[in-house]
Structure 1
């Protein structure tokens, strides 16, 4: 194996990406080394590039979503072997080394956030899932002391719980994952999206509602009131989406709203709002959530076709040099798809 590989560097806030060499490190205890075949672009990537938010030292390497083949395993790794096809959630915002990020040819990833994928699954399809799944799971399965919903873990043979949940923004990558996980936990899901994305969310098992409808709040209250309301998940994270979710929750008697971004401080008193940080499902008191999803559920659910790789991948380029334009495409706005670069 070469002692170096190429990576995409960011030298400072507002700087363009550049491709250059980086030392290839062997995986440490509990880690695997993956040769990336596809990476996906998330809003956090261009936001960090623009603002430098989260970055403590330069240069930095970004990227969370990847799919590829394992080329080496570290001490104590038992679930994977070299040559295995996987998807993975890299921890660049958690770990301190540049090698723990996806925008490079080879990436170090903790075993706990890696999932084997079927031979029939394309790498570009698999890479749409990791960060979205982790972000959704952080809101759905962490403990209530973290002001999350603490649902029963997902199952490949779920039983109806009689509970209902609101997922705002069901056609987004996080929303799509939240729907599928909630359905696998036995809940009935009501979700919002544009009319053109109704078929997508219906395929995932949710009942869609047009977020542009003037009666959206009342329509959602009527639907969610048919069962025991478990809470809301705002996968959009804007002030408008959070406040509309809060209106629904208030009319249903109050409850918890988890969100991809911090909810407004002036939400109704009977709504407990909390933002989530995806990587927390793998550590500490909430590690049970990561295990329940990445180890106990996803491998079988992906193999059987129960869990779908949605929104669909839109491959916009090949090679590390294409990541800059891919981030620009994501920043310009996408709907019902995820931007992907193959490697």
Structure 2
């Protein structure tokens, strides 16, 4: 990425700001535990395989809140000041010289990866007016979907796809462009279990697994059972029920369980228990065993930090020992890993555009708009820290 010195025909000048760079603003994280501050930010032109998006809606994720609330516990490589955020939807204002899928003015959603290692951190952050996105991690947005609806998808759908389809994760067959009933394998029933189906990642995992022809069994709070059924789950159980694992195993008796996906905090242990009970040999983990939400937002050691650290390390060691004894492979998934393998192009170029256009894929969970403007990102993060169920917090720009 380079700072622009002039604009070509398909650049910002063609997007309605002739003769001048767009004036960018961002919600900056100036240091560990700091509140976000809105102020000007550089506008960056795209590299050949990138696009620039004028964001119209952005969503907040637990990763953003955790980074702000825990200092350098995660994403230690990010410099300060930083621009967080991964989920954006808006209009293309500039395209790189090698990009053929998009033109200026196109409505798009995109997964921006400025928080990842080796990226151009500020330009590729989401919490700003103009974000640089890799064209391979963007998809056209049909008129039937609003920017607010689209913004709930990018990180969650990427994480779910990485967990389900990467060969080092569950390694499922990829979705096919036919209705799920027709895509079902002729050799017998195959199922995927998603523990935490009403979470952002779980909502997408249900749909992706169904699109690939698998039966989906999931868990959720009782008030979200109808929500996950609408997404394609054939059976849903209360994750808090003491018999949930046994009930899942009973409904899947005689069914080949292709894998188990743990999609929410505290889901790792029951997901492994399901794998043991159903004979599954692969488990993908999207969240740690313990919550990071209760950590104090300040520098220095604390009892809470020590407790969480011991819980994370000890819990993971115990879990891996249990899995190894049972012949189960359990691995944590990182959403951006699809940038480096075949799952990224499959999802963002071949599957998602068509599935969104014909209504086969739903933007889930539902967006909840916190407010208008970058100054509303901090209240959105605070609301996320307090807890959100079966919805995604979105800020419009």
TM-score of the superposition, structure 2-length normalised? 0.82
Segments of 4+ moved more than 3 angstroms: none
Q: Which has the larger radius of gyration?
A: 2
Give the 5 Å matches for 1:1-343. 1=17, 2-3=20-21, 4-52=23-71, 53-56=74-77, 57-94=79-116, 95-143=119-167, 146=168, 148-157=169-178, 158=180, 159-161=183-185, 162-206=189-233, 207-238=235-266, 241-262=267-288, 264-267=316-319, 268=322, 269-270=325-326, 271-283=328-340, 286=341, 288-343=342-397
* Separation in structure 2 between the aligned mates of residue 205 and residue 12 of structure 1, nearest angstrom: 42
Output the CA distance in 2 between the equivalents of 1:224 and 1:39.
Answer: 39
| Residue pair 1:262, 1:274 contacting (<8 A) in 2 also | no
- Which range is displaced more, 16-25 or 176-185? 16-25
For residues 237 and 152 of structure 1, what CA distance do their matches in structure 2 show?
Answer: 26
SS in 1 for 2:317: coil
- In structure 2, runs of 5+ residues without a counterpart are 1-16, 290-315
Q: Secondary structure at the match of 1:297?
A: helix
SS in 2 for 1:20: strand
Name the CA distance, whole Å, in 1 between partners of 2:176 and 2:332: 25
CA distance in 2, matches of 1:226, 1:317: 49
Structure 1, unpaired ranges of 5+: none
Q: Using the TM superposition, give the Cα deviation of residue 225 of structure 1 relative to its aligned residue in structure 2, in angstroms.
A: 3.0
* Distance in 1 of aligned mates of 2:177 and 2:231: 14
Q: TM-score, normalised by structure 1?
A: 0.95
Q: What is the RMSD computed on CA atoms of the aligned residues?
A: 1.2
Q: 2:268–2:287: 8 Å Cα contact kept in structure 1?
A: no
Q: Does the residue aligned with 1:296 lie in a helix, a strand or coil?
A: helix
What is the total number of aligned residue pairs between the two structures? 335
